[in-house]
Structure 1
Amino acid sequence: MADPERSTRLLWGAQGRGGLNLERIVRAGIELADAEGLAAVSMRRVAERLGYTTMSLYRHVPGKAELVDLMRDAVMGDEPDLGPPRGWRADTEAWARAGLEFYRRHPWLLESAGVRHVPGPNSVASYERALAVIAPTGLAPAQVAAVVELVGAFVESAARQVVETARIERRTGVGHDEWWGARDSLYEHLDRYPTLTRIYEQGGYDAPLDPFEFGLQRVLDGIEVLIRDELRDETRCPVCGKAIEAGATGRPRAYCSRACQQKAYRRRKV
């Protein structure tokens, strides 16, 4: 485990130029991790890659744990620019898709994931950009932070499946669909499950939906409902927008008229 105080000094401190310096060590570690995975990264392997002795690296970074913290922050500086704002939903879609591609390029990030990594300047800048996408929705500050965490967790979870599938395909030489297509001995037993059989017979598995895109849209739908409900003006009818007058009993009314109430009910039934 990394020493958080040492990691903080390394992440936020000045870095040397020329010769063997922290930047070169970190980049060599990233190249090694991208090519062979995080398990391949060691102070010895990084030193060999740079043509230096292992001991020479310890003058710049205390050990592998701190090196991984530095590597994580360095790659965060390579995140693509999402371009000019287009609205919270379009920007969140772009951010999520870019995040998935980011994990594909650096799958070792998933191996090093955890809740107690000291963030560096690039990591904080990445988080700042995500907050800036959600903040204009008008949600409360705690909700803005929670939405960013929700989307980030969804992307990380989806990336784990994508990266693991790709890793197994490379290792075995057998594609995902090919492997499942050869499981006839398993499928012989599945007709005892009526719901599964019905869904299969009705074509539920003929053209499967992209799990990332399907999941992303459902997450965003939920956030959109939250934004709508949190920012709804309760003094106006949610159907037609007209001002709602207080009822004869003084109790608050949800709609301006019986007609709008019925319209809202019919919409919910559709």
Structure 2
Amino acid sequence: MTQTTGTAGDPPYLRIVATIRRRIADGELAPGDRVPSTRQIAAQWGVALATATKALTTLRLEGLVEARPRIGTVVAGSSPAGPAAPTAPTARRRPSPAPDTEPELTLDRIVRASVEIADAEGLAALSMRGVAARLGVAAMSTYRYVPSKEDLVLLMADAAFGEARPADAYADADVPEDWRARVEVGTRTLWGLYRKHPWLARVGSLTRPLLVPNLLVHGEWMLSALDGHGLDPTTLFDIHVLLYSHVHGLAVHLELEADAEAATGQSEDQWMDSRAPVLRELVDSGRFPTFAKVVGSFEDGYDLRLDALFDLGLRALLDGLTPVVEG
């Protein structure tokens, strides 16, 4: 049996690679088509997420697939030929042993690779072994630089929050004195980072906040914008937390929706369409007249737009806080 179809003696990840490679070669998966995610591979083949990640990494190194943030792993634009078939069972490809020393491996590379995995597949797909597989190093190598996945996630979050600062919006211009303008820039900067890295909202909470330097850079900006208006410390910090919770509370749904789509294979619109009979039953029951009136007024259904909700909520918060801050 050739490598294209895999053999029973191959490691699980190579059998997965062979199956997906064959689907690409046969045209079943065309350029741009999504291939199974790490979570889908793990469920379908009954393997660990690290094994699934190693399979996708192998396909990526062969140039057959590529990762696209928030889309997942897709077939590359051109499909290079797979490796030549072995001429004898003993010629089967086996994983090359990792070198004892890996001078090219750095903490920065580990963090960047981890962020790429989380961006493309979600935080649940992240594992220390999976990161090692993506980097092509021995499974335990990453532990030389970071002791656990929990520590790694904190480093990832710190790196992600450090990609943009509210002050960047002003470049060489003077930062305005107006607290409202500064708060708006601060919240929009955070929203942009959560939009870029939806998994961030799954890390930490209001009750157990992230204590990482680059998130505190954003907090310092917001607190300094509110400071100097006669607010007592508790009120000032409460307002800061309220504004942050608006950003964080909406951002949580970015990753939840990505997880739901990966698990069900349905987009948000497709899922809602499949629930149309249930919605119709609720509307027609007569128990919820206002709900029925509002829902019935939508010509093409209600389009849930998180960016629009963010803008609406931010304006409402700033309008409501103005007499508190300036009073």
Deviates more, 1:102-111 or 1:188-197: 188-197
Which secondary structure state, in structure 2, belongs to the residue aligned with residue 94 of structure 1?
helix
**1:103 and 2:194 matched:** yes
| CA deviation profile, 1:137-178 (whole Å, cap 9, x unmatched) | 442333222211110011111112344345545653434388
The answer as to whether partners of 1:165 and 1:176 remain within 8 angstroms in 2 is no
The answer as to whether partners of 1:169 and 1:176 remain within 8 angstroms in 2 is no
Measured at CA, do residues 123 and 141 of structure 1 come closer, stay the same or move farther in structure 2, by a change above 3 Å? same
Which secondary structure state, in structure 2, belongs to the residue aligned with residue 139 of structure 1?
coil
Distance in 2 (alpha carbons) for counterparts of 1:160 and 1:109: 8
**1:164 and 2:264 matched:** no
Correspondence for 1:85 among 175, 197, 207 = 175
Distance in 1 (alpha carbons) for counterparts of 2:282 and 2:217: 52
Partner of 1:67: 152
The answer as to whether partners of 1:169 and 1:175 remain within 8 angstroms in 2 is yes
Matched length: 212
Correspondence for 1:179 among 258, 272, 275 = 272
Structure 1 position 228, deviation (Å): 3.3
Correspondence for 1:124 among 200, 213, 216 = 216
**1:149 and 2:237 matched:** no
The answer as to whether partners of 2:198 and 2:255 remain within 8 angstroms in 1 is yes
Distance in 2 (alpha carbons) for counterparts of 1:144 and 1:91: 15
Structure 1 position 118, deviation (Å): 5.7
Measured at CA, do residues 19 and 177 of structure 1 come closer, stay the same or move farther in structure 2, by a change above 3 Å? closer
Instruction: Note the aligned Cα RMSD (angstroms).
Output: 3.0
Distance in 1 (alpha carbons) for counterparts of 2:200 and 2:269: 23
Q: Which has the higher helix share?
A: 1
| CA deviation profile, 1:20-52 (whole Å, cap 9, x unmatched) | 222221112111111111122111111122222
Distance in 2 (alpha carbons) for counterparts of 1:123 and 1:110: 12
| CA deviation profile, 1:221-241 (whole Å, cap 9, x unmatched) | 221121233xxxxxxxxxxxx
Distance in 1 (alpha carbons) for counterparts of 2:114 and 2:267: 30
Structure 1 position 105, deviation (Å): 1.3
Distance in 2 (alpha carbons) for counterparts of 1:101 and 1:123: 14
Partner of 1:19: 104
Unaligned 5+ segments in structure 2 are 1-102
Distance in 1 (alpha carbons) for counterparts of 2:317 and 2:153: 31
Distance in 2 (alpha carbons) for counterparts of 1:159 and 1:130: 18
**1:218 and 2:313 matched:** no
Corresponding letter in the other structure for 2:179 = W
Corresponding letter in the other structure for 2:213 = P
Distance in 2 (alpha carbons) for counterparts of 1:116 and 1:200: 37
Correspondence for 1:33 among 111, 114, 118 = 118
Distance in 2 (alpha carbons) for counterparts of 1:178 and 1:50: 36
Which secondary structure state, in structure 2, belongs to the residue aligned with residue 79 of structure 1?
coil
Partner of 1:243: none
Structure 1 position 185, deviation (Å): 5.2
Measured at CA, do residues 202 and 225 of structure 1 come closer, stay the same or move farther in structure 2, by a change above 3 Å? farther
Corresponding letter in the other structure for 1:187 = R
Measured at CA, do residues 56 and 217 of structure 1 come closer, stay the same or move farther in structure 2, by a change above 3 Å? same
The answer as to whether partners of 2:223 and 2:236 remain within 8 angstroms in 1 is yes
Normalising to structure 2: TM-score of the pair? Answer: 0.56
Structure 1 position 199, deviation (Å): 3.9
Distance in 2 (alpha carbons) for counterparts of 1:177 and 1:94: 35
Measured at CA, do residues 201 and 129 of structure 1 come closer, stay the same or move farther in structure 2, by a change above 3 Å? same
Unaligned 5+ segments in structure 1 are 1-17, 230-270
**1:53 and 2:144 matched:** no
| CA deviation profile, 1:188-241 (whole Å, cap 9, x unmatched) | 442412333444566797788832222222221221121233xxxxxxxxxxxx
Give aligned-pair identity as a percent. Answer: 35
The answer as to whether partners of 1:76 and 1:122 remain within 8 angstroms in 2 is yes
The answer as to whether partners of 1:82 and 1:91 remain within 8 angstroms in 2 is no
Distance in 2 (alpha carbons) for counterparts of 1:158 and 1:43: 29
Normalising to structure 1: TM-score of the pair? Answer: 0.66
The answer as to whether partners of 2:229 and 2:326 remain within 8 angstroms in 1 is no
Measured at CA, do residues 94 and 176 of structure 1 come closer, stay the same or move farther in structure 2, by a change above 3 Å? farther
